[in-house]
Amino acid sequence: MAVTDKMPELIGKSPLRVDVHGKVTGAAIYTDDIQFGKNLLYARVKRSPHPHALIKKIDTSKAEALPGVKVIVTGKDYPQRIGLYLKDKNIFATDRVRFVGEAVAGVAAVNEEIAEKACELIEVEYELLEPVFDSIYGASPDAPLIHPDMGDYEVANFIFPKPGTNISNHFKARKGDVDRAWKDCAAIVEKSFHIPQVQHVPIEPHIAIAKTDDNGRVTLWASSQSPFAQRNLIAKTLGISESDMRVIAPYVGGGFGCKAGVTMEAMPVAIALKAKGHPVKMRFTREEEFYTNFVRQGLKIKLKVGCDKDGNMLAMENTMYWDGGASTEYGVNITRAGGYSSTGPFDIPNVKTDSFCVYTNHPIGGAYRGFGMSELHTGIGQVMDELAEKIGMDKVEFLKRNSIQGGDINVTGMKMHPIGLQECIDKVAKGINWGVKEKASSDNKLRGKGIAISWKAPAMPPNAGSSAFIEMNEDGTATVNVGGQEIGQGAFTVAAQIAAATIGLPMEDIRIAGPLDTQYSPYEWQTVASRLTWSMGNAVRFAAADARRQILEMVAEAWDEDVDDLDIINGIVVSYRSEKEMSLKNIAVYGIPKEDDQGWIGGPVVGQGSFMPSYVTGLDPETGQGPRAVVHYTTGAQGFDIEIDKDTGKIEILKAVTAFDVGRALNPELVKAQMEGGMMQGISSAIFEEIILEEGVMQNPSFVDYRIATTVDVPRVMETYFVEVPQDDGPFGARGIGEHPMTPTIAALGNAIYDATGIRLEGPPFLPEKVYLAMKDAGILD
């Protein structure tokens, strides 16, 4: 159904409120009208009530007849598949639905009320299919196929799907000889853990507005971490040239991974293509945000680890079943990241890893802060804790003995770069007063301490690039143009610092251009993977160095001096030889006049820079071995001193300490803020958060029933430390720290609970009732 003239009196006039019967009930003021005009349409989505079913028939006739409805689209209008690493998803469901909440049709109307009513009037006939709700069962040959055509899907060359199964990626790592190593082990621990799905819960839900002009050019305004990836994926899927697709991304009100790639943004674009000249706005409700969008994948992990009598690690077997949900277009790379990081930051000579991404009829699993590392380390950190106890070794000593160090060969055959993990462990152990058994504050409380270590690499394609350009202004200031997004992590601040330090300007003379706009901003792959300080930072550094070179060469020619004798200090070019000085004002744009008015030297200074790692190699699909699987790892440690109330099971964190090797802390306060915020998000996912699913239906899609940590849950004392072992390819030696502080949290808290109670819980959340009942079953409360 295309745009009609059913209600021409509403188009181009003052905004009016129209009820579902088409009656004008009075004036309505929409702030959107200020920017997008009176032609703005509002989009809503018809969603599947079933986890798995064939679509037999869709009848939109009643919805089309509703006054105020302008456009209705279904999967038949757009049968193409979309996806970042695996093209397995339709914009609107075509032949079948695969999770509760999947989009079946989209409606655009003159207001949200009418669009919602139209969705209710769309009639869909389904044929129910057997669903899959368990990842281990889903990986078995007995499970019904959720994507029977998976063998036809386009896939990245480093992802290994298994057509004819529900396994969309199987990452294998084989190092040494695990089977032979077990006989040499003096202690062995085997354990399984289940880490549930959680939500990102950004304060700003997903929202996007799309418009197609009369020439077929599309503009998308979106709350986005990935404007360039969205341009590329949506344009390719809908047959639009990237040059005719523009994405504008203002500041983002919270992302944490859920606004990476393409989630809902293609839907308003698809609708807008059939409503030329009309901006189409789609805004998710909080309920939609909870279960129709990306969630953090669930994980079932089976671990077996062993060491010799002296506590030296000998072997690990790690089998992971990732609950990827109905689409794994992004989740397959989480499985890959879990595979090449499957030992955690431990030096283990014999390893067998199988990391499976499995389709289920659950919500779609996607990028989430930590990208699988919180889930992975939940198991690894706790089995290592038990193994140390079983061999009779102090747990901190065990961690230091077995933690990976520079020069070691990791699970994929990569030589580890220099890191400061040992120092991080020492700082955390000292911070929680490790080795001293301290009394609880009262008789009805139990006290315990726990520590865990973790690592994370930027999970990205081997050729993810960054670019930047810097324009010098007439007054000597500089405007830095980047394509990475500011989502509260301080990326723009760090970009400004790098530019200022490299050119020789005071920080206050740097401006960051915005908002991000793919038509004008330089290319950036995505704002994900804690990579901007490192990757975008390198591009900014190169652009700033280029601008600096142009300035110094211009002045050197004007003064007849050697460039090596010149410097720029606080916006002033100085000569160490002649002691001349010249401000950048005017000369950085207009140049410098030659003597006797005989022409000019220089001109507008625009520095350009780009960066792409060229040294990441492919891995053998059967062994996971290769020279360099990733660009680098950020490593660290975290520890907790806790009390547990025996009457309620409630955990109180008395002290939380975290330490990470950041390479170089370009902005120590931002590093500290990321550590504190990441640790708190980790605490939230450890103690409170869980998407409760029954037969594929989320039971707690609101803040009434889905608890997240607030200020009242902040530990009494939080200490953060950073270690600086420079990264050889990072700007000034820096590497990322945005995601890492939440990756060891669940394991460290699990170890503290065990230290206090002797109970090892199967997985988070460590709710008071769960802890209480576990203590009761263990006889602790008797």
Residue 34 confidence (pLDDT) above 80: no
**How do 510-512 and 16-18 pair as beta strands?**
unpaired
Amino acid at 760: R
Partner residues linked to 569 by β-bridges: 572
Contact 748, 642 (CB under 8 A): no
CB count within 10 Å of CB 106 equals 28
Residue 14 confidence (pLDDT) above 60: no
pLDDT tens-digit readout, 494-522: 999 999 999 999 999 999 999 999 999 99
**Which position has the token pair 């077995």?**
402
**Among 106, 279, 292, which Cα is nearest to 205's?**
292
- Per-residue pLDDT averaged across 64-90, rounded? 98
CA distances, 406 to each of 414, 454, 459, 680 (Å): 11, 15, 20, 30
Model confidence at 244, in pLDDT bands (50, 70, 90)? very high
Write down the pLDDT at residue 26.
Answer: 42
CA distances, 711 to each of 204, 441, 541, 677 (Å): 19, 22, 37, 11
Write down the pLDDT at residue 31.
Answer: 54
Q: What mean pLDDT is reported for the chain? A: 95
Catalytic (active site) residue 561: no
pLDDT tens-digit readout, 597-614: 999 999 999 999 999 999
Dist. CA 398–CA 346, nearest whole Å: 10
User: Which range, of 13-17, 123-127, 289-293, 742-746, averages the lowest pLDDT?
Assistant: 13-17
pLDDT tens-digit readout, 258-307: 999 999 999 999 999 999 999 999 999 999 999 999 999 999 999 999 99
- Per-residue pLDDT averaged across 182-198, rounded? 98
**Which position has the token pair 């679509």?**
55
Write down the pLDDT at residue 16.
Answer: 39
- Per-residue pLDDT averaged across 190-206, rounded? 97
Write down the pLDDT at residue 35.
Answer: 83
Residue 630 confidence (pLDDT) above 90: yes
Write down the pLDDT at residue 2.
Answer: 45
- Per-residue pLDDT averaged across 120-148, rounded? 98
Q: Rounded to the nearest 5°, which phi and psi values hold at 116?
A: -65, -45
Write down the pLDDT at residue 11.
Answer: 27
Contact 229, 247 (CB under 8 A): no
Pick the catalytic residue: 64, 265, 288, 739? 739
Amino acid at 296: R
Partner residues linked to 281 by β-bridges: 42, 209
Neighbouring residues of 522: CB distance < 8 A, sequence distance ≥ 6: 467, 468, 469, 481, 482, 483, 539, 610
Write down the pLDDT at residue 22.
Answer: 42
Write down the pLDDT at residue 474.
Answer: 97
The angle subtended at Cα 201 by Cα 294 and Cα 743, nearest 5°, is 80
Residue 776 confidence (pLDDT) above 90: yes
- Per-residue pLDDT averaged across 181-192, rounded? 98
**Which position has the token pair 């062994």?**
623
Contact 215, 245 (CB under 8 A): no
Based on the number of CB atoms within 10 Å of its own CB, is 29 exposed (0-12), middle (13-18) or buried (19 or more)? exposed
Model confidence at 18, in pLDDT bands (50, 70, 90)? very low
Write down the pLDDT at residue 19.
Answer: 45
- Per-residue pLDDT averaged across 211-238, rounded? 98
**Which position has the token pair 């003159």?**
110
The count of residues in the chain is 782
- Per-residue pLDDT averaged across 128-150, rounded? 98
**Which position has the token pair 């160090």?**
405
Amino acid at 471: E
Distance between first and last Cα of the chain = 69
Domains contained in the chain, CATH given: 20-29+464-611 (3.30.365.10), 38-129+208-279 (3.90.1170.50), 298-460+618-777 (3.30.365.10)
Contact 780, 771 (CB under 8 A): no
Of the two residues 35 and 651, the one the predictor is more confident about is 651
Write down the pLDDT at residue 24.
Answer: 41
What predicted TM-score, i.e. pTM, was given to this entire model? 0.95
* DSSP assigned state of 143: S
pLDDT tens-digit readout, 248-258: 999 899 999 99
Residue 23 confidence (pLDDT) above 60: no
